[in-house]
């Protein structure tokens, strides 16, 4: 069952859609979390049978996940 991430940059702006369709909602949420670095007016996920995951739910999920893996890590010094 495909899920797609859609967003608008401005209130009256064009609806943009992720170039990838995701098979599970978790993958779509991961993609959406990466988009929060951009200045967006709105973002949501559309799925099968009219499922729609709104911005607030995506934002909560992003906060619960914490920073992206590898964020803040430095390469270990070489011996």
> How far is residue 37's CA from residue 44's CA, in Å, rounded to a whole number?
15
Residue with the bigger pLDDT between 40 and 9: it is 9
Give the predicted TM-score (pTM) of the model: 0.77
pLDDT digits (tens, 9 = 90+) for 38-70: 878 999 999 999 999 999 999 999 988 876 554
Averaged pLDDT of the chain: 84
Does position 31 have pLDDT exceeding 70, yes or no? yes
How many of the other CB atoms lie within 10 Å of CB of 40?
Answer: 16
> How far is residue 50's CA from residue 44's CA, in Å, rounded to a whole number?
12
Q: What are phi and psi of 6, to 5 degrees?
A: -130, 150
Q: What is the DSSP string of 16-52?
A: EE-SS-BSSHHHHHHHHHHHTTS--SEEEEE-GGG-E
């Amino acid at each position: 069952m495909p899920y797609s991430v859609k967003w608008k940059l401005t209130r009256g702006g064009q609806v943009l859609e992720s170039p990838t369709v995701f098979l599970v909602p978790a993958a779509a949420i991961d993609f959406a979390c990466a988009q929060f670095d951009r200045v967006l007016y709105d973002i949501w996920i559309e799925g099968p049978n009219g499922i729609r995951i709104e911005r607030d739910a995506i934002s909560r999920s992003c906060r619960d996940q914490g920073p992206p893996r590898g964020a803040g890590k430095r390469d270990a010094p070489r011996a």
